[in-house]
Amino acid sequence: MPVIDNVKTVLDINDDLQDKALEIIIANTTSHLKLWLKKHTDLTSTPEELNFIIEELSIARFQRRGSEGMKSESVEGHAVTYSEDDFAPYLSILSAYIPEQEEKQGKVVFF
């Protein structure tokens, strides 16, 4: 099932009226994840098993529309605080893709 279908199912969207916005959000989230992986790993594409991160972040970003740039929001007693780093909750999962660094052993030479 394509990512957009999963996102629409979770958001209970049954029409195509918001597809354009969802496609942009999904594309931006996918690009963001690819850049993160490129920076921290040796991967050049997003593994399929990480699609759930794209879906969950796309849902969160869709629900945050109109509140972009805010750190928190309070409406009629309902308060929401937004994370500055969307990937923070997934770092323990994403860190599995970061290659382990070999410790470099130095050598001392006396003349």
Average pLDDT, the chain: 84
The answer to whether residue 81 scores a pLDDT higher than 90 is no
pTM: 0.76
Q: Which of 13-22, 35-44, 57-66, 83-92 has the lowest mean pLDDT?
A: 83-92
Supply the pLDDT for residue 56: 95
pLDDT, position 21:
95
- Write out pLDDT tens, residues 36-80: 999 888 888 889 999 999 999 999 999 888 766 666 667 777 776
Q: Which long-range contacts (CB under 8 A, 24 or more apart) does 14-20 make?
A: 18/62
Is the per-residue pLDDT at 102 higher than 60? no
Rg (CA), the chain: 19
